[in-house]
Amino acid sequence: MVRNKISPAIASSLFTLTILSTIIGIFITIYFFFISPDLAYRIAAVILVGIVGILSFLRHSVFYLSDQARMGWTQDRPEFQLEVGYANLAIGLVALSASLLNWGSLACGISLITYGTYLLCALLLHAYEAVCIIEIRARAIRSLFSTAFFVVTLYILGFLALAQSHASPFSILKP
């Protein structure tokens, strides 16, 4: 299949917005953590899972051709890439609901841990690529470090939210 040259610009912009949202979300969450932990977990769920998930959905599913160009991929059957976007959307919408409908720290914590686990799987893929695929090693290593940081952040916030909600065995971590 011959395609016109697709620009990576839209996907690159969405990826940049994802990274900026993550950084801003982490700082705002930490700030509010010292004022109101419950509010901090809601903010984390909205920004780190909801907004990041929806931006990732747009990049992977709506603008998938641009995303392929950004990553240097060419394929005629993008179904798996679309599924990745749908998973991001599903988790993101649940996190937005948990936060905006005030379902509590337990629901926000579960959203954070669910997204962290989802991204942990991506982290394992980046680790495999960094070790085994020489052609993309540099990109895979960058992805490995940034994804690892995000996964650890999501897990820490998620476990603290579960502790706040007195979920066993995490209640021993209560701040």
DSSP string, 58-83: IIIIISHHHHHHHHT---S--HHHHH
pLDDT over 60 (residue 2): no
User: What does the pLDDT read at residue 75?
Assistant: 80
pLDDT-based confidence at residue 172 (cuts at 50, 70, 90): low
pLDDT per residue over 102-151, tens digit each?
999 999 999 999 999 999 999 999 899 899 988 888 888 998 999 999 99
Q: Specify the residue for token string 């090693």.
A: 137
Q: Is the model's pTM score more than 0.85?
A: yes
Give mean pLDDT, residues 63-77.
86
Give mean pLDDT, residues 33-44.
97
Q: Does residue 95 contact residue 118 with C-beta atoms inside 8 Å?
A: no
User: What does the pLDDT read at residue 174?
Assistant: 58
Would you kindly state where each structural domain of the chain is located, as residue ranges? Answer: 9-173
Cis peptide before 169 (omega within 30 of 0): yes
* Paired tokens of 127: 């680790």
pLDDT over 90 (residue 73): no
pLDDT over 60 (residue 3): no
